[in-house]
Structure 1
């Protein structure tokens, strides 16, 4: 027997097995977000850059039409393990399930919350010369609510119903992208209001030139108006800051916002659960880095798991991991800001319009 040759073969085999083990030690996962020009995709990229590597996950941040599509893709698309979803979209699926829609029940039942993130501003954009001044003035306006399956469309139509006590009439609604709708708003004037949802600073508005002030402006959300108070049962008052949009705003504008959530699936005792546990641990460990080097919206996120609304459930393996990490660092974080108030359940209409937006009508 050639001992030298045998030793070399064994060494080569060992190296090969080590390389295979190293390769097998990481997995390829995806997170679905929103448009390329929105905040969600940047949040997903931050998670891929600062959190996923420590969990041995190669995380790809994918664009999408928005929250309603994200729910569908999390349920059905291979490799999608995480999604960013607006609170009112998640609640709308729960409401439709409670109302007896079997497809909504099948879709939402196995989904789980990882953690609440931040408030996303809802922008109501009109022409600079429009007579509209406030959000509660849009009752008879022609409104672009955003594409079907988008969180924007759900937020816009839910807000309209809460403001005026009735669904947005189909004849007043359009479902174009923000870019296409802004052209119609300013050029042929066939649209009166464009609704966009994005955490500030929103790329859509940041990228506008100073000349935009001559073409468009933002409507104000008057939280003291009786109609607005009804909407605040679901949404949150916010301030759209001029410092974020110097080319568009001369002063801050009072606005309204919706909560963003990181969501996953109720995976059992599988390898996926193991890697998501690592992800939760890494998220806790690297949270300070996210706030320091990630999108500015991370500074508004509290690393906490507050109580959820009825029908909402945390993914228990990740919640245990994060709570253990938080307990270990509680003393160091004693000066942190308080946890956000619990998310309130949303009362959504049962009109066909919202079922189309959620993708429940075929």
Structure 2
């Protein structure tokens, strides 16, 4: 009898241990460069949100938003992505214009949550005659890496301001670091475009002597070219407190919205895991705002109407609404194949075959 009881207890212990030791599912979130804001946002999600959903989340660097759309669509293991609103909209526009590759990529993608605005910077040499964004016409411009949201933003802004694409002869697609080096050394670049939520590590890490080498261009909302720009982008301020080694006063600028995006997954296990992730995000937003990147303080748990062709991922949307309703009842307010000539936009988005 003792042996039977002992065996039963051992078996129960083993079963209990096995239940407790269920391995977390491994997912990836594609972000952007190691020195950008997206990588930190992804790592915050991995540290403060994913564990409660029993997910081991790997924040993976990438070239940026356009690449993220492709990787989310086709790369195994990638279940989440951070994507700029103008990149997402550009894929939708290309699809509506008849680009089958763009439609195939973007139509199954779904939004989990709008996050925050990312500031847009145009950097020139300190001795440059240019002082405003609308003065970059025909400059030797580094638009950002091919496949990046920055490159798409540069192309879109240029077209909106000047009614024409960036001149191919004067555009480069280097990394931010490479482009800044050329800007101040061999001077083969006049303007470097950067998109990153402030405080962006790339600019935070600059030394005080950087003021003698570079400056940021201002955005003038009263300039005639700005009307079209402000239909797609948002006015913003780059705060001197974000970059004390670079700025002495706040700088008027532009911003683009960042979105947390997934795929329209129908597999029940994946759907369930993402629902748990959404609930954990809802419950742990205060922790993110306290311990994570400062941009989390701008995030509101809300599901506003999206543009035409944009859709929320239904399982996570239901979970977030349920969570919000529960928090409200509890009295805890939440913070808010033919040969063709490819266009510049198609090349940036990686749609030129």
Structure-2 residue corresponding to 1:360: 351
Matched, 1:132 2:130: yes
CA contact (8 A) 1:237 1:256 kept: yes
TM-score, normalization: structure 2? 0.95
Q: Report Cα offsets for 1:318-339 as digits up to 9, x if no partner.
A: 00010011112225355855xx
Structure-1 residue corresponding to 2:107: 109
Taking the TM superposition and a 5 Å limit, the aligned residue runs for 1:57-206 are: 57-206=55-204
CA contact (8 A) 2:124 2:183 kept: yes
CA contact (8 A) 1:96 1:104 kept: yes
CA-CA distance at 1:265 after TM superposition? 0.7
Taking the TM superposition and a 5 Å limit, the aligned residue runs for 1:25-44 are: 26-44=24-42
Report the 3-state secondary structure (helix = DSSP H, G, I; strand = E; otherwise coil) of the residue aligned with 1:262.
strand
List, as ranges, runs of 4+ consecutive aligned residues in structure 1 with deviation greater than 6 Å: none
CA-CA distance at 1:6 after TM superposition? 5.5
Structure-1 residue corresponding to 2:319: 321
CA contact (8 A) 2:299 2:335 kept: no
Q: Distance in 2 between matches of 1:313 and 1:304?
A: 14
Report the 3-state secondary structure (helix = DSSP H, G, I; strand = E; otherwise coil) of the residue aligned with 1:156.
helix
CA contact (8 A) 1:167 1:351 kept: no
Q: Distance in 2 between matches of 1:55 and 1:330?
A: 22
Q: Distance in 1 between matches of 2:37 and 2:334?
A: 28
Q: Report Cα offsets for 1:265-311 as digits up to 9, x if no partner.
A: 11115101001111111111111111111110011111100000000
Report the 3-state secondary structure (helix = DSSP H, G, I; strand = E; otherwise coil) of the residue aligned with 1:119.
strand
Report the 3-state secondary structure (helix = DSSP H, G, I; strand = E; otherwise coil) of the residue aligned with 2:79.
strand
Q: Report Cα offsets for 1:225-266 as digits up to 9, x if no partner.
A: 110121010000000000110000011110000000000011
Deviates more, 1:80-89 or 1:10-19: 10-19
CA-CA distance at 1:9 after TM superposition? 5.0
Q: Distance in 1 between matches of 2:267 and 2:78?
A: 18
Structure-2 residue corresponding to 1:256: 254
Q: Report Cα offsets for 1:334-362 as digits up to 9, x if no partner.
A: 5855xxxxxxxxxxxx9611111111113
Structure-2 residue corresponding to 1:346: none
TM-score, normalization: structure 1? 0.92
- What's the C-alpha RMSD, in Å, of the aligned pairs? 1.7
Structure-2 residue corresponding to 1:45: 43
CA contact (8 A) 1:112 1:265 kept: yes
Report the 3-state secondary structure (helix = DSSP H, G, I; strand = E; otherwise coil) of the residue aligned with 1:159.
helix
Tell me, which stretches of 5 or more residues in structure 2 are unaligned? Answer: none
Q: Distance in 2 between matches of 1:243 and 1:351?
A: 42
Q: Distance in 2 between matches of 1:107 and 1:100?
A: 13
CA-CA distance at 1:21 after TM superposition? 3.0
Structure-1 residue corresponding to 2:303: 305
Matched, 1:54 2:52: yes
Q: Report Cα offsets for 1:10-63 as digits up to 9, x if no partner.
A: 544444443433343521111111011000011111111111111111111111
Q: Distance in 2 between matches of 1:272 and 1:222?
A: 46
CA-CA distance at 1:172 after TM superposition? 1.4
Cα 1:217–1:21, aligned 2, differ >3 Å: closer, same or farther?
same
Report the 3-state secondary structure (helix = DSSP H, G, I; strand = E; otherwise coil) of the residue aligned with 1:271.
helix
Report the 3-state secondary structure (helix = DSSP H, G, I; strand = E; otherwise coil) of the residue aligned with 2:272.
helix
Q: Distance in 1 between matches of 2:9 and 2:345?
A: 63
Tell me, which stretches of 5 or more residues in structure 1 are unaligned? Answer: 338-349
Q: Distance in 1 between matches of 2:9 and 2:223?
A: 76
Q: Distance in 1 between matches of 2:46 and 2:309?
A: 29
Report the 3-state secondary structure (helix = DSSP H, G, I; strand = E; otherwise coil) of the residue aligned with 2:328.
coil
Q: Distance in 1 between matches of 2:289 and 2:335?
A: 13
1:229 to 209, 227, 230: 227
Structure-2 residue corresponding to 1:340: none
Q: Distance in 1 between matches of 2:8 and 2:310?
A: 54
CA-CA distance at 1:94 after TM superposition? 0.7
Q: Distance in 2 between matches of 1:116 and 1:221?
A: 24
Q: Distance in 2 between matches of 1:15 and 1:64?
A: 44
CA contact (8 A) 2:301 2:335 kept: no
Q: Distance in 1 between matches of 2:17 and 2:76?
A: 26
Q: How many residues align?
A: 348
